Structure 1
Amino acid sequence: MYGEDQTLGTTEMGEATRRDFLYIATGAVGAVGVGALAWPFINQMNPDASALALASVEVDVSNVAEGQQIKVMWRGKPLFIRNRTDKEVEEANAVDVADLPDGLARNLNLAEDAPATDKNRAAGADGSEKLIIMVGVCTHLGCIPLGEAGDFDGWFCPCHGSHYDTAGRIRKGPAPENLLIPPYEYTSETVVKIG
């Protein structure tokens, strides 16, 4: 025992022994086991099929009459799509951006620093300002504002008193930002893909 080579795992020639193989095989099986155990926890963080289906939505806006608003669900949030009247567009254009509590357009289709003009918030396929598409969630605490209400005949959040104008810009109340304009593109003259 005292005269033998005390090196474990290799012979005097430096070749691998059965013990080395067992160490490597045990480590490999352990790594596969940890991976198999961790996979369900990692996979549950991926969005489910219903969330992926709502990642984008197509809406035919030709059915939205002038002065009418429809609500569509997108990513679990309501979208307000409104075909505004000429009077509503005129009222929105008459507002000086410098007088707004939030001077940014909050339009995900434009640069972050785009001003909150009515044109920068409108979504008409032909460049008109009549159609507007917004995420219908109050920027204060996430309530759903009421349409054609409030001091500016736009949207009103009765929970805490936020008033938005006909372009969805905050005008009065605790909400810090304008209603968000989601990413969108027209797939035809009357169909808009949101998301």
Structure 2
Amino acid sequence: MFGVMGACLVRGTVTKMVHLLWPNRGVVAAGIVDVDLSAVQPGDNVVVKFRGKPVFVRRRTEEMIRLAEKDDAVVATMRHPEKDVERVKRKEWLVTLGVCTHLGCIPYPNEGMYGGYFCPCHGSHYDHSGRIRFGPAPFNMEIPDYLFVDDNTIRLGVK
């Protein structure tokens, strides 16, 4: 008799713990954000909040793409070498976390020595691919998980 009651007690406790640890639908939904790209013009940046952080979505101009690909020639000299093609899913769009990898400040778009992003806190300069080129930042700007749902929409939070 005590064995059956004990088993029921253990089952009830384990079930409650599993439900407690399992994320609810609201939490899961908050981890995925769709971004409408239809109104973004070449050269423009859109900032969206994703998991409590800014995400920069930049529609690159032909010149920005050309400069990013030109910089691939010196990728071996970069602190964190990544070619442009490794950082974008479509040449026209660059999607990065809008946080400097040094101390977490928010960089300014279209600024700095390389025209990409400039962090005013300690002077880190990023190029048109979000690669660190000068300053104390140890890494390139982070690329969040995302995919293109269609030509005018990206979905953040999924691969």
TM-score when normalising by structure 1: 0.67
Is 1:97 equivalent to 2:63 in the alignment?
Answer: no
Partner of 2:87: 121
1:134-149 map, 5 Å = 134-149=96-111
Tell me whether 1:159 sits opposite 2:135 in the alignment.
no
Looking at secondary structure, tell me which structure has more strand per residue. Answer: 2
* Identical aligned residues as a percent: 39
Letter in 2 for 1:97: V
- In structure 2, the residue matched to 1:172 is 134
1:1-195 map, 5 Å: 25-33=1-9, 36=12, 43-95=19-71, 96-103=74-81, 116-124=82-90, 129-194=91-156, 195=158
In angstroms, what is the RMSD of aligned CA positions?
A: 2.4
- Give ranges in structure 1 of 5+ residues lacking alignment: 1-24, 104-115
Structure 2 runs not aligned, ≥5 long = none
| Contact 1:51/1:75 (<8 A) preserved | no
| TM-score, structure 2 normalization | 0.80
Structure 1 residues 158, 45: closer, same or farther in 2, change over 3 A? farther
Structure 1 segments, 4+ long, off by >6 Å, are none
Greater gyration radius: 1
Q: Which moved more, 1:86-95 or 1:67-76?
A: 86-95
